[in-house]
Structures are given as C-alpha cells and as structure tokens.
A and B are shown apart, each in its own frame.
Chain A
Amino acid sequence: MIDFGFTPFAAGVTDLDKANLSLAKQITEHEPSFNLCISCGSCSATCTAGQFTKFSFRVMCHQIRKGNTTLAIEEASKCMLCGKCTLICPRNVNTRNIIRLVRKAQTTTP
C-alpha cells in the first residue's frame, strides 16, 4: 500500500460491495431526484429542526448511500416536514418525499 502519510479511520470506511443498499435502491426507485443531490448543504442550512439539534438532510443522504439504514432512520425521525429544504434545494431534490420514504422503510424493514 502506498504511504500517503495518512490513513482513513476504519470506522469511517464503507465497503460498498458488502453494504446493505436496499434503502438507497428503494428510494431511487420511488424518488429518482435522490440522485441529483450534490451535497451542497443548503437543506441543512435552512432546516427548522437543525436550529435545535444536530440534524442534516445531507448527512442522512450519505448514510443512506453507505447503507447505514438505522442511522438514516434515526436522522429522519427529527424532521418536521416543514418543507423549507425542498424550496431551497438548487437541484430540486424532492427532500420531503425522501424523508417520508425513509420513515416508511422503518415500518417495513425488519
């Protein structure tokens, strides 16, 4: 292995071949705009819930893509559905629908 002078934390590494990406697939299928996200963070900046707690839609999307379903569901539970992020998103990601899909996944996945 080439020595770059730094190594990634083992805990932060996701092996995408082994990760459970079923939630990401499910969301992409029902809400294709999920894949338009460029992680700019506008959603997090405007978030009503984000005023009071560590909550970020952008981070939740990363967790979904990495297969961290439990963490994603936990994040989604904080959302108040106010809709500001949908209005602010420069990529027209249908954020509220993604939140709803994650919340529904909680009742359907074991």
Chain B
Amino acid sequence: MSYYHHFVIPFTAGLLFLVIVVAAKWIIWIKGLNNQQKRQVKGNIFTKKSLLATWEVLAESLFHRKVFKKNFLLGYMHMSLALGWFLLIAMGNLETRIFTHGQLNPPYVPIFFEFFEHDLSTLRYKEIFTFVMDFLLLFVLSGVALAYFKRATSKPLGMKQATKHAFVDKLALTSLWLIFPLRLAAESVTAGLYGTGGFFTRWLGEAIAPLPAIDMLYYPLWWAYSLSLGLFFISVPFTRYMHIPTETLLIFLRKYGIKETEKHTSYTQVELNACSRCGICIDSCQLSSELGISSSQSTYFLKSLRDKKATDYLTETCMLCGRCDYSCPVGIENSTIRLNQRRESPATGTSFGYVPAIEASKGKIAFFAGCMGQLTPSVTRATLALFDAADVEYTHIDKDATICCGRPLQVNGEENAARELAQKNKQLIEGTGAEALVTTCPICARIFAESYELSIPVYHHTQFLYQLAASGQLKLAPSNNLITYHDPCELGRGLGVYDEPRELLKFAGNLVEVKSSKTNSLCCGGSLAITSINQQQRNQMARKTLQSIGANDVDFVATACPLCKKTFTAASDENAILDISEILVKAFANTKQSSKPEQKQTAKETSTVN
C-alpha cells in the first residue's frame, strides 16, 4: 500500500531542506570547537552527563520549565506548542505504524494520515488514537491562541515588553501560526466529507458539512497545510526558530562542561543560534525598565552578532550586570559574549609605561583597597580595624599608591591594557610573600580571581571576615538594628558570593531579606562597564535599587562594594549606607560596651559620622 499525493511536496521538501541545513550547521559548529572543547565532548559523551542532558532537553525544550517559572501562561503557551506538537508527531507516527503493521512510512504519511486513510476500522485502539490526536491538536491550538493574544498584549503573560522582530521572523511566525488552524480545517472538512476524525474534528466537520461547496475546500486546505509546514521549515535556519534545533545541541555541549572563553568560539555560534529572541532579557534589564533604553538588550545584540552586524551602540550599551544571564530561559552567557565582542575591537592607544613597580612590606595577608578604596577611606579603616581586632598579620599593599586592578579597562574591552596593569599588581602581590589576598572591592576581586592567575587564594573582605567571625577569632556582638543587604553585581552574579555577607551581617544585627536579592538583585547603577549613561541616569537607577531593597524600612543599608556605596550615597541622602565592615566595627565596639547600658544610635546620626 503506498500513500502519495502531490500536495505533500512542499512539506517534504521543506523538511528535507531543514534536516540537511541543521545537520550541516551542527557538523560545522562541532568541528569548529577548539581542541580543549573537543576533548570535553569526547571525554563526556559516553557518561551520565549525556543522560542528564537528555533530561534537561525534555525539561526545557519540551516542558519549558524555566519559562513556567517566569510566568505560568507564558510557560503554558510554550509547552503546548512544543510538547503538543512533539506528541502529535510521535502519536501520529505510532498510529500509522500500527495501522500499516510496522511498515516504515515516508515522513509525510503520519502528518497527512487523515487525508490518505479514511477507513480506520482495522486500526487497533482506534478510539484512543482518534481521541488523543484531536485532544493534542486542541492542546496545541490553545497555545497558538495564547500566542495570538500575546501579540496583542503581552502583560498577562508576564512580559512588559516583547522583542521587536525582523521581517523574516514575522513571516516565519505567520506560517507557524497558520499550521495548526489549517490542520484543524483540513481534518474537519475531511471528517465532514468522509466521516473520519475524532471527537472534535468530527463534530466540527459535521457542523460545516451542510455548507455549500465545502467539498471544494478539500484539496486546497490540504495543500495550504502542507505549504505552511514547508514554508515554516524553510524559514527556520534564517530566523529565530533556529533556536529549536540549536538549543538541544547547546544543552548537551554545556553539560559536557563547555563554556564561553575569552574569545568567540564556535560554541558562541551555538549560543547565538540558540537565542529564541523571546525578549525576557528586556524586562530584566534596568536600562530598559529605568531609563527607557530598550533597543540594546541581549535579544537584539545576539541577533546583530549572529548577522555579523554588531554595532558599537549594541556592544557598548550594557552594564554587564549579568541580570539577563540569570533571567534567560535558554541560559545563554549574554554578558560574556558581549564582553568578548568588546574585546574584539578595543579602543586603542593606552600607554602605561609610566607605571612604576611598587613594593610593599611582607605580611601573611596582603590587603588591597583599590581605587574605590581611596574614595571610601572609612571602609578601609573599618576593615583594617577588624583585622587588628582579630590579630591578623597583614600588609596594606596599596597604602601609598594604588595601581588600578585593570577590571575597568577589561570590561570596556581593553584587555591588553588591563593585562599590563595586572602584571604590575601581580608583581606587587607576589612580592609580599602573602598566603592570601584580601580586597574590599568586588571589582578588583573579580579580575584577581579570574584573570591574574595568582598562586594564592583571593578573598573578598566579606569572605575573609566571615572566616574570622565564624572561627571566633573576631568577636562581635549583635545589636537590634535592622539591616538590609544589597548584592553587588561583581560579587554576587560575578563571583557567586551571596552567603558570607549575609552570615556576617547576622553577627551584627537583624538581617532583613528582600525579594530582589541574590541573582535577582538590581545593579546600583554605578557600573563601570557602561560609559554612555550620565550621572542623573545612574542616580535614578540607584534610587530604584534602594527602594527595591527596602532601604526606607531599616536602620542600615549594607553593601559590600565601595562603588555601590558611593553610587547610593550620591543618589540618596536619607539612608545610612554602609559597607559591611563599617557595620561590623559597631558590632565589635558592642563587645567592649556590653557591660554598659546600650546606646541606641539612630540611622541619621550614624550617617553623619561616616
């Protein structure tokens, strides 16, 4: 028995084209991986990691778990389309397989089975199959209906702003939206004429059967259904729908341990193509929510890079705060890709020949306050006072003069210039013979940890002080003050330090945890990675961030970054904004005064002291 009709050609040709292009791209990408990445693939492909990746593909690509976490309706919309369509294909294949007694059919047979076979009386489990196929079609159509609705208004689906799409994307979207209504129409007309179909298509078919000339629609509808499928398949490699096949590859490569490096690699191509341009990154970006800059977010930047048309505006209009990295349902390393793009075309012409070699006295712990430390001497004083209190043998290596750590140059793409400064600082650090490096600045801590390749561990002062406090070496007595904590971008999302600052603050007072914290915390607005926004815009962001951490309801706002402290202080004169070390100094003072009656300091008084 052979099934064929000319109308299957658009579908079959489209599918063939898609399979060939996707296979070719996968091969090119995998071949293009660097040797280290290839070793990671080879070393992990036959391990448990492949199973875990398969599980993640199911959870993310079919069930869209992360999108569900963002918004239920948005998750349902994506799940009904992806899982529904997948099951429709799978069940269709099963149905035709059983009907043709295990015969291997061309791919178009299950898709157009209702057209080819009007008499299913010999099909086993016929009732179940016809019911399930109709049910799945309705399931998918409910997602399509939500998608129509989302175009009109995306707010109920949890998105304030949706991506503005290119023309080809809109064309592909239209063909995708037509596929399932056309399938319903074709199957219903067939059901009306030949008595096929399940509970829904049969009902609809019988309802429309009495209409005049309904049989004239029979062939045109099956043609239209096949054409919409073919058009969609052909459009996939040129549009955002390339994310469907690419995300699968991305999940596997990521599970094998592959990450972005300091340069674009072929893995970057996989990430660029895995972006679905859903636009969730737009809402998470403070440039958009606070300043109304809604044209440079990752969704647009990644597309421009994929099209090899990345402009300076797109590359540079980003704070590299990392919020979009954590909101992205595909888990694309947006910030790293953007930073690497900055590295591709740095502003040239730095000359640091004038920077002398600095030496510092020897000590067990090397303490570096950094440039921002020079602007916030109270933080340095407080930290060193705590070191003294805990009998730490330290050497303050940039007491007289600070060479910038290089991170500000690095985040602006000037990698070589940053390395030049790093070299000078590295000599300084290694010259002290210290066992560990401690810095009060998360910006410095990040580049020390990620790029300096030091032989000694690097600690942010909150990590180091926590060790001292937890071991009892630093004695602290908490007060009744309410404290809220602001996660600095470079310390939290950058270095993954969330717990130590919080644990430390519990030694000093009552920590109030807020909703927008940890990976979801807002940037203070002081980011060094963007130069095009002005001070007023930064202040605007800072005020919003203070609001988000409940600054008005507490005695102290604690931060762990001197730049955050400066930015907040510039934007607001109503709050007492202190570094954790400054709060701890009070807690240390409490241990001395514990015998005396407690003096309650108000937030106002404290802010003037500092």
Which residues of A pack against B, CB within 8 Å?
A: 33, 46, 48-49, 51-53, 73, 76-84, 86-89, 92, 94, 96-97, 100, 103-104, 106-107
B347 lies within 8 A of A107 (CB):
yes
A53, A82, A84: the one within 8 Å of B354 (CB): A53
A97 lies within 8 A of B531 (CB):
yes
A106 lies within 8 A of B536 (CB):
no
A81 lies within 8 A of B566 (CB):
no
Q: Say whether, besides A87-B375, A92-B536, A94-B531, A107 and B348 are in contact (CB < 8 Å).
A: yes
Which residues of B are found within 8 Å of A100, using beta-carbon distances?
347, 412, 531
Segment at the A interface, from B121-129, B380-388, B397-405: B397-405
A72 CB, nearest partner CB in chain B, Å: 11
Q: In the complex the two chains form, what is the Cα distance from A53 to B570 in whole Å?
A: 29
A106 CB, nearest partner CB in chain B, Å: 5
Q: 11 A–B contact pairs at CB < 8 A?
A: A48-B371, A48-B402, A48-B403, A53-B355, A77-B351, A78-B352, A80-B371, A81-B412, A84-B375, A92-B536, A106-B349
Q: In the complex the two chains form, what is the Cα distance from A46 to B371 in whole Å?
A: 9
- Place the interface of chain B in its size category: 35 or more
The reply on B532 being an interface residue by CB < 8 A is: yes
User: Which residues of chain B in 119-171 are interfacial with respect to chain A, using CB atoms and an 8 Å cutoff?
Assistant: none
SS class of chain A's interface: helix, strand, loop or mixed? helix
The reply on B408 being an interface residue by CB < 8 A is: yes
Q: Which B residue sits closest to A88, measured CB to CB?
A: B375
The reply on B535 being an interface residue by CB < 8 A is: yes
Which residues of B are found within 8 Å of A86, using beta-carbon distances?
535
The reply on B77 being an interface residue by CB < 8 A is: no
A96 lies within 8 A of B531 (CB):
yes
A82 lies within 8 A of B349 (CB):
no
- Residue of B531, B533, B535 ringed by the most chain A CB atoms within 10 A: B531
The reply on B610 being an interface residue by CB < 8 A is: no
Known: A82-B408, A92-B534. 8 other contacts (CB 8 A): A33-B535, A48-B403, A52-B354, A80-B352, A81-B408, A87-B563, A87-B567, A103-B349
Q: Say whether, besides A97-B532, A100-B412, A103-B347, A52 and B355 are in contact (CB < 8 Å).
A: yes
- Residue of A46, A53, A78, A83 ringed by the most chain B CB atoms within 10 A: A83
Q: In the complex the two chains form, what is the Cα distance from A96 to B534 in whole Å?
A: 10
Q: In the complex the two chains form, what is the Cα distance from A17 to B355 in whole Å?
A: 38
Which residues of B are found within 8 Å of A51, using beta-carbon distances?
401-402
